[in-house]
């Protein structure tokens, strides 16, 4: 090979995304959160981002890009340079539910992203405004059946995890509650506290403080076990209400990078994030948010995404969930 040809080939390789920069990271890392500030994905992204900064010595910038159930932010992340400097705080809605809800989804959860790290799983908490005359699941279902279409619930947008969880609840209990989509979890919680909507069924981090302050009333949690932060709040599965046997609709969150991100960078990020997720102080911190750390390999996280896509598609179809719902 001629020297000039070799140098051209070497230069091309050095600028290719498959060539991992040995000095990585040497500038700020951006984590796109596809929802407004204050919700579970935002809280988790900031928590993990702080640990990445402490471990890798570079700032982590959180960019909130809300809209269309999280798909606007996910699409932006999918189109970023695959160099390890842009990550998406993905979750069950953007990575598993969206393909069934949005027929013209601008990204493919499998082909457009490289899984980096499964961060946490978070139970959903079913809450109502204190003015609602219900204190448990049985009373709630009875009230909803007596008042079909007269109660509203909020979510972080069409196709979001909160939307799916509530539609799953409605399908399971044969009740009718009107969906009010927001551009993120935080504004839906704000309106629930204000009494503009009557119900929310979303991640614990956004709701536990409001429940403890008496601003919202917790009716049940979506996980198989009760939440340590709310030990007196039963699971939906243990409510004894017909149709809710075995009910489970927890959220999960994880970081993904644009497809083509060098494997060496993915592994480096995965190792740093997992090391922090297993640290006692991080476990304790996540627990205070109602979250459980889920350190694992990128391959295992990829398998989770694929399983969840298959799991939730039938629910979306049976509940007739659509992007314009």
Question: 64 near 36, Cβ under 8 Å?
Answer: yes
Of the pLDDT bands very low, low, confident and very high (cuts 50, 70, 90), residue 277 is very high
pLDDT value at position 185?
86
Q: Pick from 213, 217, 212: which is nearest to 228 by CA?
A: 212
Q: What is the pLDDT of residues 164-214, one digit of tens each?
A: 899 999 999 999 999 999 988 889 999 999 999 999 999 898 899 999 999
Q: What is the pLDDT of residues 129-156, one digit of tens each?
A: 999 999 999 999 999 999 999 999 999 8
Of the pLDDT bands very low, low, confident and very high (cuts 50, 70, 90), residue 28 is very high
26-122+251-318 classified as CATH 3.40.50.12370 = no
pLDDT value at position 3?
53
Q: Pick from 240, 254, 325: which is nearest to 294 by CA?
A: 254
Q: What is the CATH number assigned to the segment(s) 124-221?
A: 3.40.190.10
Of the pLDDT bands very low, low, confident and very high (cuts 50, 70, 90), residue 17 is very low
Q: Give ranges for CATH 3.40.190.10 in the chain.
A: 124-221
pLDDT exceeds cutoff 90 at 87 = yes
pLDDT value at position 112?
98
Using a pLDDT cut of 70, give the percent of the chain over it. Answer: 93
Q: Quick one: 284 exposed, middle or buried, by C-beta within 10 A (0-12, 13-18, 19+)?
A: exposed
The tokens for 199 are: 């119900």
Q: Give ranges for CATH 3.40.190.150 in the chain.
A: 26-122+251-318
The tokens for 312 are: 């939730």
Q: Where are the beta strands (DSSP E) in 123-276?
A: 124-128, 152-155, 178-181, 199-203, 217-221, 251-258
* Alpha carbons 160 and 179: distance in angstroms, whole number: 12
In which element (H, E) is residue 122 found?
A: strand 113-122
């Amino acid at each position: 090979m001629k020297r000039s040809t070799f140098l051209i080939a070497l230069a091309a390789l050095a600028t290719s995304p498959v060539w991992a920069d040995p000095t990585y990271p040497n500038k700020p890392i951006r984590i796109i959160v596809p929802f407004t500030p204050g919700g579970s994905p935002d809280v988790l992204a900031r928590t993990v981002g702080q640990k990445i900064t402490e471990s890798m010595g570079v700032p982590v910038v959180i960019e909130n890009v809300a809209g269309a159930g999280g798909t606007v932010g996910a699409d932006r992340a999918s189109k970023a340079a695959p160099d390890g400097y842009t990550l998406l705080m993905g979750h069950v809605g953007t990575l598993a539910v969206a393909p069934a809800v949005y027929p013209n989804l601008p990204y493919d959860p499998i082909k457009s992203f490289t899984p980096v790290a499964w961060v946490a799983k978070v139970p959903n908490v079913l809450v109502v405004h204190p003015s609602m005359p219900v204190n448990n699941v049985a009373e709630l279902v009875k009230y909803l059946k007596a008042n079909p279409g007269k109660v509203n619930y909020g979510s972080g947008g069409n196709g979001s995890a909160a939307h799916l969880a509530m539609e799953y609840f409605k399908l399971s209990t044969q009740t009718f509650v009107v969906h009010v989509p927001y551009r993120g979890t935080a504004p839906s919680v704000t309106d629930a506290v204000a009494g503009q909507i009557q119900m929310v069924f979303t991640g614990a981090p956004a709701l536990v403080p409001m429940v403890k302050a008496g601003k919202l009333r917790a009716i049940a949690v979506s996980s198989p076990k009760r939440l340590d932060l709310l030990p007196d709040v039963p699971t939906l599965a243990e409510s004894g209400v017909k149709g809710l046997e075995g009910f489970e609709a927890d959220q999960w969150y994880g970081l993904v990078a644009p497809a083509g991100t060098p494997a060496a960078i993915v592994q480096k990020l995965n190792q740093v994030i997992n090391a922090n997720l297993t640290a006692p102080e991080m476990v304790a911190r996540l627990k205070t948010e109602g979250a459980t750390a889920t350190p694992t390999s990128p391959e295992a996280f990829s398998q989770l995404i694929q399983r969840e896509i298959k799991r939730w598609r039938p629910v979306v179809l049976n509940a007739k969930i659509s992007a314009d719902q």
